[in-house]
Amino acid sequence: MNVLPTASTLKIDSLRQGKAFGGEIPIINPMVVLYSVNMEVAPMLKVKVFGESDLLLSQVADTLKSLHEKIFLTPPGMTPDEVIESYINSPAEVRKVVIYYDDGKPVGFLCMQRYSIAIDSERVNVFRSQAGLLEKYRKYNVVNFRYMRFIFSEVLFNPGKSYFFAVCIHPSSYRAIVRNAASQNIWPTQGNLASNIAMKKLCAKICCFFDLEAHHRDGVFIHNDGLGPTRGANECQDNINDDAAFFLRKNRGYIHGDGIAVIAKVCIGDMLLRALNQLLRKANRKMHASR
């Protein structure tokens, strides 16, 4: 039985030299890998990408308002305009919005930003995002790879230290970040909560930069942005893995919109290996299904 190798069996140096799978292969084009994975995961969803000049269009604003209302529980007294203000208006260097469509109907969104900030007298890239999918589409891994493509292209043209920062209000978002980063390059996790002091301090500094009212609670930083929790957040979590269980233990207030601040170092090598791994796993499953 022929089984394709997974990316976890490959060495980064081998990929750089164009050597893998026991022989010579052409050097991998990372953008092709990321694009292929995205299309393979959920081919039924169409996307539209809106740049900064498009973000004030009523079409984009109205779609974001509608999607947010369907996906999240907006707190009483908060208007739709106040909700999307944080999505489309920010001091970021680069801003983009992706809308996902199924049969012409919007079913999800992804807002992406790159900031250039000073940390200890050094300029670094900090990436942030806000995303939401209608419940039936959350099983499709569409958001991660679209965002990975954005990060890769921005780092390519803006080299230097780069980090991803998020306030995760649902275990699925936290789990997705942990899955796509090496353990030593992300905080907090179950394994490094108390040991990775450098990343914890960096997380605190970035919270301060964004003026977040982050409370240090049970070893992590908790922040509530006031935009409300995910709909169905208080439902029982079945079949959760260790990462999701860690999130639930540390952030019991997520049902009220509390989020855990998470920082991850952007490593292109890690991103490419995980993207390739996903592609090869899907090729394996497709090959077995056709037998």
Q: What is the pLDDT of residue 40?
A: 38
- pLDDT-derived band at 235, boundaries 50, 70, 90: low
**Average pLDDT, integer, range 234-247:** 75
Which residues have a Cβ under 8 Å from the Cβ of 212 and sit 6 or more positions away? Answer: 167, 223, 261
Report all structural domains of the chain as residue ranges with CATH numbers, in order of start: 27-284 (3.40.630.30)
Residue 61, Cα to own-chain centre: how many angstroms?
Answer: 22
| pTM over cut 0.85 | no
Which helix (H) or strand (E) element contains residue 157?
Answer: helix 142-157
Give the tokens for residue 219.
């070893």
CB-side exposure of 281: number of CA atoms within 13 Å?
A: 11
Q: State in Å, rounded, how far the first CA of the chain is from the last one.
A: 11
The whole-number average pLDDT for the span 60-70 is: 90
Between 228 and 135, where is the model more confident?
A: 135
Angle, to 10 degrees, between the axis of helix 142-157 and the axis of helix 30-41?
160
Distance (Å, rounded) from C-alpha 276 to C-alpha 273?
A: 5
210 burial level (CB within 10 Å; 0-12, 13-18, 19+): middle
Please state the rounded mean pLDDT for residues 208-234.
Answer: 85
Q: Is the peptide bond before 188 cis (omega within 30 degrees of 0)?
A: yes
Q: How far is CA 263 from CA 113, 139, 163, 167, 282, in A?
A: 15, 24, 7, 9, 28
Q: For 139-181, how does the pLDDT look when each residue is reduced to its tens digit (9 = 90+)?
A: 666 777 788 889 889 998 999 999 999 999 888 889 888 877 7
- The answer to whether the CB of 57 falls within 8 A of the CB of 168 is no
| Range from 98-107, 136-145, 211-220, 259-268 carrying the lowest mean pLDDT | 136-145
pLDDT in tens, 101-141: 998 999 999 999 999 999 988 999 999 998 888 888 876 66
